[in-house]
Amino acid sequence: MKTQIIFFVLSFFSLAGMAQNLNQIKIDDRVEGEILCGQINLDGLKDSLCADWFKPEFEAYKIDTNLLSDLKKKNFSGLKMTLVLGTWCHDSHQQVPRLIKLLETMKFPMSKLEMFAMDTYKEALGIDLKSIDVKLVPTLIVYKGTKEIGRIVESPKVSLEADLLEILQ
């Protein structure tokens, strides 16, 4: 019983500490302004720093309903995704809100999406971008278990729906 209480307390403080490291704002000298850097979540994208580009693109994006029905049939068990973006990057401004809308609409468990914002020097707190070979943003990496099964880099080849469906085949 004592061990369980200690484990619970340590887990609680560990999670509380992690939450404080989300959505860190940094001044980037190349963009001469504030950006997000490190691990982020949806709140970080929807707040005032990113809201001017995130919300309009999210609302305007029209999902291909034919492909959406195929995506909804996929088994998401064992899948996880890592999204690396730049809050200073035009491609991220366009593709990230669209991707988030697609994932939410297809009922992908958002707890299985890990997001990191990199700075203009291609660094992000909490992740070694070189180890996952991220050079361009946004980059979505899809994993089945620990194995990478595909990625979308910068912009989709066909569409987010078609590219994601191809990865999940």
Please give the average per-residue pLDDT across 30-50, as a whole number: 95
Predicted local distance difference test score (pLDDT) of residue 48: 80
Predicted local distance difference test score (pLDDT) of residue 57: 98
Please give the average per-residue pLDDT across 140-157, as a whole number: 98
Predicted local distance difference test score (pLDDT) of residue 13: 47
Domains in the chain: boundaries: 22-168
DSSP secondary-structure letter at 124?
B
For residue 134, the tally of other CB atoms under 10 A from its CB is 22
Which of 5-14, 19-28, 32-41, 97-106 is the least confident region? 5-14
Q: Amino acid letter at 11?
A: S
Q: What ranges in 47-89 are assigned the alpha helix state H?
A: 48-60, 65-72
Predicted local distance difference test score (pLDDT) of residue 2: 56
Per DSSP, the three-state class of 127 is strand
CATH code of the region 22-168: 3.40.30.10
- Tens digits of residue pLDDT in 65-119: 999 999 999 999 999 999 999 999 999 999 999 999 999 999 999 999 999 999 9
Q: Is pLDDT above 90 for 6? A: no
Distance CA 145, CA 80 (A): 7
Residue that is written with structure tokens 């899809």 in the block: 142
Predicted local distance difference test score (pLDDT) of residue 1: 55
> With bands split at pLDDT 50, 70 and 90, how would you rate the model's confidence at 125?
confident
Please give the average per-residue pLDDT across 16-21, as a whole number: 57
